[in-house]
Structure 1
Amino acid sequence: MNTPLSSSAFEYAPAPESRSLVDIAPSYGLFIDGEFTEAADGKVFKTVSPSSEEVLSEVSRAGAADVDRAVAAARRAFASWSALPGAERAKYLFRIARIIQERSRELAVLESLDNGKPIKETRDTDLPLVAAHFFYYAGWADKLEHAGFGAAPRPLGVAGQVIPWNFPLLMLAWKIAPALATGNTVVLKPAETTPLSALFFADICRQAGLPRGVVNILTGYGDTGGALVAHEDVNKVAFTGSTAVGKQIARTVAGTDKKLTLELGGKGANIVFDDAPLDQAVEGIVTGIFFNQGQVCCAGSRLLVQESVEEELLDALKSRLSTLRLGDPLDKNTDIGAINSAEQLARITSLADRGEAEGAERWTADCPLPSAGYWFAPTLFTKVTQAHTVARDEIFGPVLSVLTFRTPEEAVAKANNSAYGLSAGIWTEKGSRILAVAERLRAGVIWANTFNKFDPTSPFGGYKESGYGREGGRHGLEAYLDV
């Protein structure tokens, strides 16, 4: 006689990745002209693991004098680096890519510790893409004359790059790989809450034998980035981060001859039609908003579902969210990691509370939250209108707002009714509908029957308050060339 299986979910045994794979030093300096050095004024700050609130290391805090030193080092290196044949620059990029692959397990653990994201994301998504970007742009280094930007495109000079905390190493790769391939030199400032992977990358540059001064890493707060952006000897500024800071940078650069690209916030619409494969759509919705705890600029944070399938889809979605595992980022079974910082957790909490106060119906997955660290359970809001704050503002957390529509025209109108224009998703079995809807969406990246899929050969960027310029693909070369 067969005994029926229990209706409860199977329990997973802990499967932690070994923390011993990464050796974090008690302190780190700035990386300037091929060497680690203390800040000129001796200032330091601490970087904390968001899952445990443990201090991981003490890091130098760069000031204006340090920015001057780093830019001067990059300027000195530019003459010889830009004069190298493209094939020679490519060799360095290939070396960096191979070393990243060799050290990928170490770097994945480091990123999960410093950022809070699950190890299976850093291991299976972030690190493969980081290496792929360096491999891809290494291939372009000796083919720039055939990239469509003129017969003899020239590098701009010194690139000042400021990256965010949600994908620290991947955003570094997006910035540094095309800059080096095109013959520019770099001064990069990582986010203050996630400085460690950039400092480990500095060591990779030395391991690859990269000439001194070609890449410089300045850790610090917003004032460090501000000094870098405003520096008179920087020729190119690249920024990924919030729209508010992006606007401030645009004001700083206005009136100068600096080239600028901005990749800013988003409020992506994920549109599900009544003929969509709902099980597949549910997985895409989860990937769209709960990947990296929703701390993704192109997250599908607005779900637009056709009225006739709303109830069925929401039932399936809530059931799926109830199976997500929240906890230790180093556990290979973890789906939802820690929020990056106390400040970001406070913002998410405030906006979610505001959504509830404005009348939207809140549903939160029933899961225990660890006693230490920064955590927010997967949450969705229904009965949402265009007027609700949770439908307009970028929350940058694991919070999904659900709106409904009846016709494709209404779906497009609601999707485009946003200050942002970075990403969108379309779920339907009809290819003609995908094309018809996509051409009317004002979004830089549109996925069809999938979400959050990236490739170094594809350009990425947005419209409106999501910024301007493109990163990735052949288009990503143009931002670093005088064409």
Structure 2
Amino acid sequence: MVSESTADLIRFENTIGGQPAGAAGSWFTTVDPNTGQPWAQIPKCGPNDVNAAVEAARNAFYDPAWRDITATARGQLLNRLADIIAEEAERLIALEVRDNGKLIQEVRGQLNYIPQWFRYFGGLADKIQGDVLPIDKPGMHAHTCREPLGVVACITPWNSPLMLLTWKLAPALAAGNTCVVKPSEHTSASTLAFLALFEKAGFPPGVVNSVTGFPAEVGEPLVRHPDVRKVAFTGGDAGGLSVYRSAAEGLKPVTLELGGKSPNIIFEDANLENAVNGAISGIFAATGQTCIAGSRLLVQRSVHDQVVERLVELAKTAIMGDPKRADTQVGPVTTQPQLQRILDYIQIARDEGAQCVLGGGVPDASTLGGGWFVEPTVLTGVNNQMRIAREEVFGPVLAVIPFDDEAEALSIANDSPYGLAAGVWTSDIGRSLRMSNRLEAGTVWINCYRAASFLAPFGGYKSSGIGRENGQEAIDAYLQTKTVWIDTTGKVANPFVMR
């Protein structure tokens, strides 16, 4: 609910062509999920703003100030940016915590880690190489070179705005592309502050631009724009499918990181204390608002009751409250519609026969600042055909599913339209290898959960996405291959016959 005077709100601006840009006087309000109160205004852009941003990015791509600098110089710019991000980290942390309600401890960890992405891909910038081909035709030389695609659209979600933007920007820029960023309409503030740092780092105007607003007015025109050469998107599977369809009309490559319903699997031989901690980390950290949430907890039947008891007792101690406090463990849900969606799914699970053994509702708001909070929730009596086991909730709701043996655990785990991540808890090294080989997931954690690195490729199987972010594999998604043939004989033989 917006009740505060707009005169009291902070205004953020986009960056287009190296200059601050509003949206022809049109703004929308962003709300602090911890208090439910508005705190900032964001430019409400439209197709004309999209055109201006893409034109700025296209001009920058062909401008010698960017196109003709050496790959080493590109890498140095990324390294300089990394230093500036480190210097500005505390300001960016405060903005992101206020805008999306993520715990300050987690946001600080991300912001302190983000510079490493730019340093890593800065180091890869001048390692992009082609090949000399051992061609089979006499008198001919052939080689390949790897070149940037052009303008890249980077579309990011509301749950980890700066981290997930970095996963796109760092490899895209290292490869020599230019970018237009469209952040979530729910959490744009930290992104706009972040993009202002590129000019300070010395990037030429127009290399990185932004447009803010809503999917129909900004997202779709950006994806469809004829000068956009690639789309990198993180979000829900419905949004990803829409992006994929629109991009396909222009034959544009995409990287899509979409939803998940990840199984976190506990075997009877696991260290149960560690496994329960891992289950808590997998679903209640970040208030469950993460694509890799271990929202399906598969527990071997022989230890099922013991695990549930331990899990409930530990989850009961979770401290809910202001995400700016260092001792808070569960913060608010980022948006009011998302809060209602979570509550609706809990009711659907109950209607389908699940038992709610912890949480299941909204806590006493008088102790929590009036924000959008939902209790950590544990559901038992779940089978894998229930909606709570098949559809992404994106909240602190854990569905516990029993299994008898390894074969059944694999069958349940893989019986999902998603395949983003999985966790396995066992002391049997053979089982850990068998499970990791057979689980249909882009990431498998063994006796751990929610680990990520700039060195490790990340992405999904099945409906969880297309392509990979992070690691050396990521930069390939922002390059295209050119083959060059050179005649060394000085003669053109029969012009009517293919050489």
The alignment's TM-score, normalised by the length of structure 2, stands at 0.89
| 1:325 Cα deviation from its structure 2 partner | 0.4
Residues of 2 paired with 1:25 and 1:185: CA distance?
32
Cα-to-partner distance string for 1:311-350 (whole Å, 9 max, x where unaligned): 1111111111011100001000000011000011011110
Partner of 2:61: 78
* Aligned 1:71-470 pairs, distance under 5 A: 71-79=54-62, 80=64, 81-124=66-109, 126-145=110-129, 151-223=144-216, 224-365=218-359, 368-369=364-365, 370=368, 372-470=370-468
| 1:152 Cα deviation from its structure 2 partner | 1.9
| 1:358 Cα deviation from its structure 2 partner | 1.1
Unaligned runs of 5+ in 1: 1-23
Residues of 1 paired with 2:162 and 2:310: CA distance?
34
Residues of 2 paired with 1:325 and 1:285: CA distance?
17
Amino acid in the other structure paired with 2:108:
R
| 1:255 Cα deviation from its structure 2 partner | 3.7
Residues of 1 paired with 2:185 and 2:196: CA distance?
19
* Aligned 1:47-86 pairs, distance under 5 A: 47-79=30-62, 80=64, 81-86=66-71
Q: Alpha carbons of 1:120 and 1:146: their partners in 2 closer, same or farther (altered >3 Å)?
A: farther
Partner of 1:9: none
Residues of 2 paired with 1:78 and 1:389: CA distance?
46
Unaligned runs of 5+ in 2: 1-7, 134-142, 482-499
Choose 69-78 or 52-61, whichever is displaced more. Answer: 52-61
| 1:82 Cα deviation from its structure 2 partner | 3.2
Off by >6 Å, runs of 4+ in structure 1: 146-150
Cα-to-partner distance string for 1:382-439 (whole Å, 9 max, x where unaligned): 0101121111110000000000111101000000000101100010011111111111
| 1:31 Cα deviation from its structure 2 partner | 1.1
* Aligned 1:39-54 pairs, distance under 5 A: 39-40=23-24, 42-54=25-37
Q: Alpha carbons of 1:271 and 1:148: their partners in 2 closer, same or farther (altered >3 Å)?
A: farther
Is residue 152–residue 178 contact of structure 2 (8 Å, CA) maintained in 1?
Answer: yes
Amino acid in the other structure paired with 2:451:
K
Question: Radius of gyration: which is bigger?
Answer: 2
What SS does the corresponding residue of 2:438 show, helix, strand or coil?
A: coil
Partner of 2:488: none
Amino acid in the other structure paired with 1:178:
P
Cα-to-partner distance string for 1:197-217 (whole Å, 9 max, x where unaligned): 111112211221211000001
Cα-to-partner distance string for 1:52-83 (whole Å, 9 max, x where unaligned): 12212111111100100000000011123233
Choose 357-366 or 369-378, whichever is displaced more. Answer: 357-366
What SS does the corresponding residue of 1:425 show, helix, strand or coil?
A: strand
Is residue 129–residue 456 contact of structure 1 (8 Å, CA) maintained in 2?
Answer: no
Amino acid in the other structure paired with 1:39:
A
| 1:128 Cα deviation from its structure 2 partner | 2.5
Partner of 2:21: 37
What SS does the corresponding residue of 1:58 show, helix, strand or coil?
A: strand
Is residue 360–residue 384 contact of structure 1 (8 Å, CA) maintained in 2?
Answer: yes
Residues of 2 paired with 1:138 and 1:333: CA distance?
35
Is residue 321–residue 365 contact of structure 1 (8 Å, CA) maintained in 2?
Answer: no
Choose 149-158 or 334-343, whichever is displaced more. Answer: 149-158
Residues of 2 paired with 1:449 and 1:406: CA distance?
20
What SS does the corresponding residue of 1:355 show, helix, strand or coil?
A: helix
Identical counterparts, % of pairs: 42
The alignment's TM-score, normalised by the length of structure 1, stands at 0.92
Residues of 2 paired with 1:323 and 1:103: CA distance?
34
| 1:298 Cα deviation from its structure 2 partner | 1.1
Partner of 1:11: none
Cα-to-partner distance string for 1:145-177 (whole Å, 9 max, x where unaligned): 179999521000000111000000101101111
What SS does the corresponding residue of 2:145 show, helix, strand or coil?
A: coil
Is residue 30–residue 62 contact of structure 1 (8 Å, CA) maintained in 2?
Answer: no
Cα-to-partner distance string for 1:98-139 (whole Å, 9 max, x where unaligned): 111112122112111101011111112x21232221111111
Cα-to-partner distance string for 1:240-262 (whole Å, 9 max, x where unaligned): 00100111111112242311111
Amino acid in the other structure paired with 1:419:
P
Amino acid in the other structure paired with 1:211:
P
What SS does the corresponding residue of 1:152 show, helix, strand or coil?
A: strand
Residues of 2 paired with 1:205 and 1:289: CA distance?
35
Partner of 1:3: none
Is residue 333–residue 373 contact of structure 2 (8 Å, CA) maintained in 1?
Answer: yes
Q: Alpha carbons of 1:239 and 1:356: their partners in 2 closer, same or farther (altered >3 Å)?
A: same
What SS does the corresponding residue of 1:296 show, helix, strand or coil?
A: coil
Is residue 163–residue 239 contact of structure 1 (8 Å, CA) maintained in 2?
Answer: yes
Is residue 329–residue 338 contact of structure 1 (8 Å, CA) maintained in 2?
Answer: yes
Q: Alpha carbons of 1:361 and 1:148: their partners in 2 closer, same or farther (altered >3 Å)?
A: farther
Partner of 1:4: none
Task: Name the Cα RMSD after superposition.
Answer: 1.7
Choose 365-374 or 450-459, whichever is displaced more. Answer: 365-374
